[in-house]
Amino acid sequence: MGIPGRVPANGLTLTLLDVTVASDRTVRVHFSLQDSRRQFLPPTETDSLGFSASEVALTAAGRPDRYRAFTTCPASAPHADVLQPCMDNAVRGTTVATTRLTDRGDGTWDYRLAAPLPSSYSPTRTLSIAAQARRQGIFASDPASIANTVLDVVPGGGTPVRVMPVSQASGCNNCHGQLAAHGGGRNDVRLCVRCHTEELTDPDTGTSLDFRTLIHKIHRGESLPSVVAGTPFRVTGFNGSVHDYSHVRYPQDLRNCNACHNETATDAPDAARWATQPTTTICTSCHDNIFLGTGTPPMGTVAHPGGVTSAAECATCHRETGFIGTYPTGVRTAHQTLEARAGAPTIAATIQSVTNTTPGSAPTVNFTLTDRAGMPITNAVNPPPATTTPTMALNGAITRLTLNLNGSTVPDYGLFPVLGGAAVSATPTGTLVHMGAGRYQYTFPPTSALPATATGTWAVGIEARRVEFVAASSLAPTARLLNHGVFNPVSYFSTSSSPVVPRRRIIESSRCNACHETVSAHGNNRQNPEYCVFCHNPASVDNRPLTAGGPQSVDFQAMIHRIHMGANLPTVRAGGRVLYWRSATSSADFSTVQFPRPVSNCAACHATGTQETPRAAACTSCHDDASAVAHAQINTTAAGVESCNACHGTGRLYSVTAMHPAN
């Protein structure tokens, strides 16, 4: 392919070897391109190869602050008079900047940037070169290879500095899998921050596209104060394409800044800056209804409670932690998530044993209750204290303790509703005994005894809730109670002498929590997907009224697929909606949900290999158009036997894995 003796191979590695700046401020980049065999490639084997230059801008105190873009080009029509940060393309499609590319003869190349650095450039500051390349696969079926990289130098001598407050590996990629933008050609956040600088503005709307502003606003999405007030958050991109982020739902508590700013990550040395260096740019990107200027606040905004201020003054009041009066002005203090509150009355449960498990019997469960630090909880009593008037006396009270049974685990749970026992309730059932030191014994009531026909393995799970008293403050006009739920323990037991067979485990809670931090539903009572399937089984339905079509399945495999597919469901694209009804008059709409990865990336949630067995109920929850549903029905016998494996099983031409690539 252009070099004699080279064995064809896919793959692409782009290496920046050196940067030189001439006296006329002309920049030359020394680089190499290699395939997966480490064979050198000429630039013409790419269809995209670009470079950009930026510098690390300093604060007035001389501290590294942000990147300032040097490489610019005209915005797309009709704004060609506006210069924006961009890539200087050595190769773009079939166009090659041959006059600025020089072959060194050793497999490496030089590229001269089209424009010299500005007169404001100083060789004593860090100069950063970012580069990206794309190479198509050898065969049409081979995926393209993408390479992004950066090189930081101080041309005048010295150690380069960098600014990196977010972690891609343990921040961005936790939700997004492999972060990718602009057609997939940019997959390294280091490139993002060197182009999305203060110099980048959407010329159509005037919206800042500075990374710090843009990313905060995108992720806050539908809960941005400006969006809540009725102003959509839209960005006009390349060739006039409009991107509306007004429906983005962040999948966890917005106050969990560490989700992106992971302070333990080696690739985010400046992660703590979100808490230690507040600025007007960053703070007002999320709190975009705060007016910091003089005079009457514009419509839709409110005056900053601290009055007129400048970026240099933020840290005067907004230190890392602390209060001014009752107002949590400390950045970390104001952004503490529910579970992170100091001294919060948390709760954990562990099941020790289950006895009396023969068919027709009411099982007895031995379990412990502790806080997250392992200290015993001894106040699970009936009746629980009334919570209608929050008082400090309620802090740490257990207001709910429920145990549930379902079975058998194979082929799946079959009871809906489940067999329940209200251990702590205003109207308790069964018998709860505190054995001392946080050890409890609960016996289900006769009405929740195992069916006389029970066979195989059954399961018991616990849900519990403990409350925290939060005093009235400027953030909470009245005192209130916050619920802390337990991560639901599940224990399996046999109804006979046969071995215990736990229910199949399809998803892993750690994968859910990579995006959601803590999966929580139904008043913070359910946090463990292994417990969610107790109720969300093939027999379960929602409360959809007949006027809306009647009850719809809320089987976990169907419901979760549909929720996460959201706006990408064929039926939604055709004008339908994803509605689940809590009651005959209340529903939740998931029709605008956007999955943050390719929807084909099953491994984002599934335990390794568990997505490889096709099931009609799961497949048609995503592929829900009429033809796909008909296809599944035609290939299912009258006895309910599915023939999906014939074409979609492991190793088959149209296997689930083959048809659902991760990216």
Residue 271 has pLDDT above 50, yes or no: yes
Predicted local confidence at residue 1, as pLDDT: 44
Buried b (16+ CB within 10 A) or exposed e, 296-316: eeeeebeebebeeeeeeebee
CA triple 172-175-179, angle to 5 deg: 50
CA distance 479 to 467: 13
CA distance 471 to 430: 35
More confident residue, 512 or 4: 512
Task: Give mean pLDDT, residues 613-622.
Answer: 92
Predicted local confidence at residue 326, as pLDDT: 76
Q: How far is CA 390 from the centre of its chain?
A: 34
Burial (CB count <10 Å: 0-12, 13-18, 19+), residue 461? buried
More confident residue, 444 or 326: 444
Is the CB of residue 341 less than 8 Å from the CB of residue 379? no
pLDDT level of residue 346 (50, 70, 90 thresholds): very high
What domains are defined for the chain?
13-163 (2.60.40), 189-336 (no CATH), 348-534 (no CATH), 546-659 (no CATH)
Residue 622 has pLDDT above 90, yes or no: yes
pLDDT tens-place string over residues 348-366: 999 999 999 999 999 999 9
Predicted local confidence at residue 475, as pLDDT: 55
Task: Give mean pLDDT, residues 203-226.
Answer: 94
Is the CB of residue 220 less than 8 Å from the CB of residue 232? no
Taking Cα atoms as reference points, which of 127, 119, 108, 136 lies closest to residue 68?
A: 127
Task: Give mean pLDDT, residues 23-50.
Answer: 97
Computed over its alpha carbons, how large is the radius of gyration of the chain? 29
Residue 498 has pLDDT above 60, yes or no: yes
Predicted local confidence at residue 3, as pLDDT: 64
pLDDT tens-place string over residues 95-121: 999 999 999 999 999 999 999 999 999
pTM score above 0.95: no
CA distance 603 to 616: 19
pLDDT tens-place string over residues 249-267: 999 999 999 999 999 999 9
Q: Is 144 helix (H, G, I), strand (E, B) or coil?
A: coil
CA triple 259-245-196, angle to 5 deg: 70
* 22-36, 229-243, 517-531 — most confident range: 22-36
C-alpha distance from residue 567 to each of 162, 222, 572, 575 (Å):
38, 15, 6, 10
pLDDT tens-place string over residues 296-320: 999 889 999 888 877 778 888 999 9
Residue 2 has pLDDT above 60, yes or no: no
Can you tell me which residue has the tokens 């690739």? Answer: 267
Mean confidence (pLDDT) of the chain: 93
Predicted local confidence at residue 209, as pLDDT: 94
Taking Cα atoms as reference points, which of 324, 316, 332 lies closest to residue 275?
A: 332
Total residue count of the chain as it appears in this document: 663
Say if strands 364-370 and 439-443 run parallel, antiparallel, or are unpaired: antiparallel
pLDDT level of residue 661 (50, 70, 90 thresholds): confident
CA distance 119 to 70: 11
Q: Name 130's bridge partners.
A: 52, 150
CA distance 172 to 179: 7
Question: Furthest-apart CA pair in the chain: how many Å?
Answer: 91
